[in-house]
C-alpha cells in the first residue's frame, strides 16, 4: 500500500511534536480512509455524470434524426406541390402565349389585307391623277391659247383707245393715279373729320393725350430756365451725402417731392427740376434744411419735406393775404387767396405772375376810377385774371379755362368771370371792366423789361407762324392773332374743299409743332369762304 505524501507529512509532524506512535498511526489511517472515501465518491460522481451525458447525447441524436426525417418528408411534400404548381403555371403561360400569337397573326393578316386594298386604291388614284393631269394640261394649253387671243384683242383695243383718247398708256395710268390720289385725299379728310367727331365724345381722354404730346414736344429755353432751381452746397462732399448709400436719400427726396434732382460736375451746387413751381420750391427748402441740419437719412428726409410743405403753404397763404391787403380788397375766399399766393412762384416769359397780376389790378383800378366805375371790382378782376396759372400744371386746359372754373367755384361775380375768359380774346367781353383788364394786361406785359421776349423776337415768331401757314398749297393768306396764340388761314375755295380744309388744319398744326417753339397753345383756324356777288342796275 502506497503511503500518501500527506500521511507522511502528518506522521512526521506527530513524531516531531513528541506524540506517541499510536497517535501518529491513527492520524495517518484516518487521513487515508478519508482520502479513499473522497476518491471513491469522486469516481462514482464521474461515472454518473458520464452516464447521464451519454443518455442526453443519445436523446439529442435521436431527436435530431427525427427532426431531420420530418424536415426531409416536409421538403419532399412541398417540392412535389411546388413542382405541380410550376407545371400548371407553365402550361397556363404557354396557352396564353399561343392565344396571343394567334391574335397577332390575325392582326398581321388584317393589316396585310388593308395594305393590299390601299395599294389597289393608290394605283387607281394614280391612274385618275394621270388622267386629270392630261386633261388639265389640255385645258392649260387651251387657256394659254385663249390668253394669247385676249392679249391680241387687248392690244388692238389699247391701240384703238390711244387713238381715240389721244394719249399713251403711261399717260392714262398717270391720270388714273392722280384721280385715285385726289379721291383718297378726300376720303382721308372725311375719315379724319369723322374721327374728330367721334373724339368729341371722349374729349377727356383726347385732352390728356394732347397735353402729354404738348409736354413732350414743348422745349423752349425760357421755360427750361424757369423750371429749375439751384441749391448751393458748403462743399462737394455734401453731394455724396445727399445721394446716400445706393442712392436711397436722393430717391426718397424725389419720391416725396415729385421733382428731379440733378447732380453733375458743377462745383458746390445741385439743381432741382420740375414744371410745378410749388413742388420745386418745396424740394429746394427741404434740401436747404437738410444741408443745415446735416442729418440726411430717409426718416429725417420725410420730416423735413413735411416741414417744407407747411412752410411753403404758409408763405403762399401770407402772399395771397398781402396781395389782397395791398389792393384793399375785402371778402375774398381764403381758398382762392391761396391760389393767388401760389402765383408768387409762377413766372411767364420771365415775369413773376403775382407781380404782373398786382400791376394789372393797379392799372385797372386807376382806369376804372377815371371812368367812374367800381374801383374795387376792377382791382378784383385784374388780380384774378391770371388765377388759372396757379394750377395749370395740375389741371387740364389753358389758364383761362382753369381760371374761369376757379372763379365760378368760389362764387366770383360775373364781371370777374368774363374778365378772366376774355382777356386773351377767347370770349367776347360783355362789360367795360373786361376791356380794361385786357388793356392793363397788355400794358403790364409790354412795358420795357417786363418779359424776357423782346419785340424783335416777338415779331420774328409772328412772321414765322404766318410763313409756315403760307407754305401750303391753296392758302391765300394767313393772319396771326392774339399775340400769336391763334392763326387764321384763308384758303382759295376752288382749290380747297370742305374735307380738305380739315386735313389742311391738321397739317399746319403738325408743321408748327415740328418747326417752331412757342409758349402755351396756338389755335389753327382754316377758313374757306365762297362769295357770289352781282350788281343790280
For 122-139, the pLDDT digits (tens) are: 888 888 888 888 888 888
Q: Which residues, other chains included, contact 495 with Cβ-Cβ below 8 Å and sequence gap of 6+?
A: 473, 474
Instruction: Report helix, strand and coil shares of the chain as percent, to nearest 5.
Output: 75, 5, 20
- Residues β-bridged to residue 475: 491
Q: Which residues, other chains included, contact 511 with Cβ-Cβ below 8 Å and sequence gap of 6+?
A: 468, 471
pTM above 0.85, yes or no: no
Helix (H) / strand (E) containing 486: strand 486-491
Assign 162 a pLDDT band (cuts: 50, 70, 90). Answer: low
Same topology, domains 202-327 and 457-527? Answer is no
Mean pLDDT confidence for 84-111: 87
For position 331, what pLDDT does the model report?
A: 78
50-59, 284-293, 344-353: least confidently modelled range: 344-353
Locate the domains of the chain by residue range.
Answer: 5-149, 202-327, 346-453, 457-527
Mean pLDDT confidence for 232-258: 80
For position 291, what pLDDT does the model report?
A: 82
For position 7, what pLDDT does the model report?
A: 52
pLDDT digits (tens, 9 = 90+) for 471-522: 888 888 888 887 777 889 999 888 888 888 888 888 888 888 888 876 667 8
Percent of the chain at pLDDT > 90 equals 0
Q: Which residue is listed with cell 389758364?
A: 399
CA distance 433 to 416: 8
3-class SS of residue 481: strand
CATH of domain 202-327: 3.30.1370.10
* 491 C-beta neighbours (distance < 10 Å), count: 24
Q: Residue 291: which of 258, 249, 262, 228 has the closest Cα? A: 249
3-class SS of residue 272: strand
Residue, of 378 and 449, whose pLDDT is higher: 378
9-18, 142-151, 372-381: least confidently modelled range: 9-18
For position 70, what pLDDT does the model report?
A: 85
Strands 228-232 and 269-273: antiparallel
Helix (H) / strand (E) containing 480: strand 475-481
Query: Going along 47-163, which residue ranges are E strands?
Result: none
Backbone angles phi, psi at 486, to 5 degrees: -145, 145
CA distance 322 to 332: 12
CA distance 32 to 2: 10
- Identify whether the C-beta of residue 522 lies closer than 8 Å to the C-beta of residue 487: yes
CATH of domain 457-527: 3.30.300.20
Assign 350 a pLDDT band (cuts: 50, 70, 90). Answer: low
Q: What value does the mean pLDDT of the chain take?
A: 78
* Residue 123 half-sphere exposure toward CB, CA atoms < 13 A: 6
- What's the fold here for domain 346-453? Hypothetical protein af1432 (1.10.3210)
Mean pLDDT confidence for 85-106: 86
Three cell numbers at 416? 370777374
Nearest 10 degrees: Cα torsion 447, 448, 450, 456: 100
CA distance 213 to 198: 20
Can you count the helices (H) and strands (E) in the chain? 17, 8
For position 222, what pLDDT does the model report?
A: 36
For position 227, what pLDDT does the model report?
A: 61
Amino acid at each position: 500500500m502506497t503511503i500518501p505524501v500527506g500521511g507522511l507529512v502528518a506522521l512526521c509532524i506527530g513524531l516531531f511534536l513528541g506524540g506517541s506512535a499510536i497517535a501518529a498511526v491513527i492520524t495517518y489511517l484516518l487521513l487515508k480512509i478519508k482520502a479513499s472515501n473522497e476518491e471513491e465518491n469522486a469516481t462514482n460522481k464521474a461515472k454518473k455524470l458520464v452516464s447521464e451525458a451519454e443518455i442526453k447525447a443519445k436523446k439529442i441524436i435521436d431527436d435530431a434524426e427525427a427532426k431531420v426525417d420530418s424536415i426531409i418528408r416536409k421538403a419532399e411534400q412541398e417540392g412535389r406541390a411546388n413542382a405541380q404548381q410550376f407545371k400548371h403555371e407553365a402550361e397556363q403561360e404557354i396557352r396564353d402565349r399561343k392565344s396571343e400569337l394567334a391574335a397577332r397573326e390575325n392582326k398581321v393578316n388584317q393589316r396585310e389585307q388593308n395594305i393590299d386594298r390601299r395599294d389597289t386604291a393608290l394605283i387607281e388614284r394614280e391612274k385618275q391623277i394621270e388622267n386629270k393631269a392630261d386633261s388639265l394640261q389640255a385645258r392649260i394649253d387651251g387657256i394659254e391659247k385663249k390668253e394669247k387671243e385676249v392679249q391680241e384683242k387687248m392690244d388692238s383695243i389699247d391701240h384703238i383707245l390711244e387713238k381715240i383718247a389721244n394719249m399713251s398708256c403711261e399717260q392714262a395710268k398717270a391720270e388714273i393715279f392722280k384721280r385715285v390720289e385726289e379721291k383718297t385725299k378726300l376720303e382721308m379728310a372725311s375719315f379724319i373729320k369723322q374721327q374728330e367727331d367721334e373724339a368729341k365724345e371722349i374729349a377727356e381722354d383726347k385732352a390728356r393725350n394732347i397735353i402729354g404730346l404738348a409736354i413732350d414736344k414743348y422745349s423752349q429755353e425760357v421755360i427750361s430756365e424757369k423750371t429749375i432751381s439751384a441749391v448751393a452746397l458748403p462743399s462737394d462732399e455734401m453731394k455724396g451725402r445727399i445721394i446716400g448709400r445706393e442712392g436711397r436719400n436722393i430717391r426718397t427726396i424725389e419720391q416725396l417731392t415729385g421733382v428731379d434732382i440733378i447732380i453733375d460736375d458743377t462745383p458746390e451746387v445741385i439743381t432741382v427740376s420740375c414744371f410745378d413751381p410749388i413742388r420745386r420750391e418745396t424740394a429746394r427748402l427741404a434740401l436747404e434744411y437738410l444741408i443745415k441740419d446735416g442729418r440726411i437719412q430717409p426718416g429725417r428726409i420725410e420730416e423735413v419735406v413735411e416741414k417744407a410743405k407747411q412752410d411753403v403753404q404758409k408763405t403762399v397763404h401770407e402772399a395771397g393775404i398781402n396781395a389782397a391787403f395791398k389792393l384793399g380788397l375785402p371778402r375774398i375766399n381764403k381758398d382762392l387767396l391761396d391760389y393767388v399766393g401760389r402765383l408768387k412762384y409762377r413766372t411767364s416769359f420771365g415775369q413773376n405772375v403775382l407781380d404782373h397780376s398786382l400791376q394789372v389790378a393797379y392799372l385797372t383800378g386807376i382806369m376804372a376810377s377815371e371812368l367812374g366805375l367800381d374801383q374795387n371790382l376792377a382791382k378784383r378782376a385784374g388780380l384774378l385774371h391770371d388765377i388759372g396759372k396757379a394750377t395749370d400744371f395740375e389741371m387740364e386746359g389753358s389758364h383761362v379755362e382753369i381760371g374761369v372754373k376757379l372763379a365760378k367755384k368760389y362764387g366770383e361775380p360775373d364781371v370777374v368771370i368774363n374778365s378772366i375768359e376774355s382777356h386773351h380774346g377767347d370770349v367776347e367781353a360783355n362789360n367795360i371792366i373786361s376791356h380794361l383788364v385786357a388793356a392793363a394786361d397788355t400794358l403790364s406785359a409790354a412795358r420795357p423789361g417786363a418779359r424776357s421776349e423782346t419785340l424783335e423776337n416777338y415779331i420774328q415768331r409772328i412772321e414765322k407762324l404766318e410763313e409756315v401757314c403760307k407754305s401750303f398749297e391753296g392758302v391765300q393768306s394767313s393772319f396771326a392773332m392774339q399775340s400769336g396764340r391763334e392763326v387764321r388761314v384763308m384758303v382759295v375755295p376752288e382749290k380747297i374743299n370742305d374735307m380738305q380744309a380739315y386735313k389742311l388744319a391738321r397739317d399746319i398744326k403738325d408743321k408748327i409743332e415740328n418747326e417752331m417753339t412757342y409758349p402755351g397753345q396756338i389755335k389753327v383756324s382754316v377758313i374757306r369762304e365762297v362769295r357770289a356777288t352781282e350788281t343790280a342796275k
